[in-house]
Amino acid sequence: MFQMRSLISLNLIFILFLSACDPVKKSTLSLSPETATKSPVWSSPFMNGFEKALFRTSLDVADKHLTGISIIKKTSDSSFHFTFANEIGLTYFDMEFYRDTYRPDYIFDPINKKSFLKILQSDFSILFFSESAGKKPLRKYIQNGSGEAVYLYLGINLYAWMDTKQNSLTELVGWSNYFDAVIVGFREYENGFPNEIRIMNPKIHMTLTFNFLGH
């Protein structure tokens, strides 16, 4: 009996901890009367046929402002290569991202911080590998104002925003702890791919913006 009470207490503490880390303001959402199990099928734009893309890119983090061109290339079913350099050839990032880890081939020294790169890996994992396949949402909300459908997947700490009229993914919000909460926005879809992707980490004041230039 004591062990059962202890287990219940630990589960409650864990749920309260996750709730405290949850970056989504519930005041902006309304609980949908529809069952969450009717979630549409969705996946990251970087899955299902993506090979590579060129972007005009900017990174703002702390007091750093970096701009240039980036290339994202799918190197296998479980990895992507990311290269980001300025217009005169100075490389900021040359990295391979996997679902749960990364390989830093080169990092610009002023931003070569292990804690920052760990958060960046979490961001790119959500950007590259998120999909609804095999996942059952816990709840469905409606975004106040826009009317977008919002699905909460608690087991993986992920929210997904869907434009149900266009059947397109517009935003992902994920987290594993207080510091790595991330908002990934997808805007202005054309031929099934967004013209703008914006990654924001409010806790570390980071914004990474990709403007699509071509495949």
Which residues, 6 or more positions from 34, have their beta carbon under 8 angstroms from its beta carbon?
A: 140
* Confidence band of 156 (pLDDT split at 50, 70, 90): confident
In a domain, 40, yes or no: yes
Counted residue by residue, the chain has a size of: 215
Q: How far apart are CA 161 and CA 101, in angstroms?
A: 26
Q: How far apart are CA 54 and CA 56, in angstroms?
A: 7
- What are the residue ranges of helices labelled H in 22-172? 114-129
In a domain, 3, yes or no: no
The pLDDT of residue 37 is above 80 = no
Residues 157, 176 contacting (CB under 8 angstroms)? yes
* Confidence band of 111 (pLDDT split at 50, 70, 90): very high
- What are the residue ranges of helices labelled H in the chain? 2-21, 114-129
Tokens representing 127 are 């950007």
What's the mean pLDDT in 82-107? 96
Q: What pLDDT score was predicted for residue 38?
A: 65
Domain residue limits at 65: 21-214
Find, among 153, 140, 185, 139, the residue nearest to 45 by Cα.
185
What's the mean pLDDT in 101-119? 95
Query: What's the N-to-C CA distance of the chain in angstroms?
Result: 60
Q: What pLDDT score was predicted for residue 21?
A: 60
Q: What pLDDT score was predicted for residue 154?
A: 77
Q: Name the strand (E) or helix (H) holding 69.
A: strand 64-76
pLDDT tens for each residue of 46-88: 998 899 999 999 999 988 999 999 999 999 999 999 999 999 9
Residue 143 pairs in a beta bridge with 29
In a domain, 5, yes or no: no
Block residue for tokens 């975004």: 143
Per cent of the chain over pLDDT 70 is 87
Q: How far apart are CA 74 and CA 80, in angstroms?
A: 4
Q: How far apart are CA 116 and CA 92, in angstroms?
A: 14
In a domain, 79, yes or no: yes
In a domain, 14, yes or no: no
213: exposed, middle or buried (Cβ count in 10 Å: 0-12, 13-18, 19+):
middle
**How many domains is the chain partitioned into structurally?**
1
Residue 13 pairs in a beta bridge with none
DSSP 131: B
In a domain, 168, yes or no: yes
The pLDDT of residue 17 is above 80 = no
In a domain, 16, yes or no: no
Report the CATH number at residue 59. Answer: 2.50.20
In a domain, 12, yes or no: no
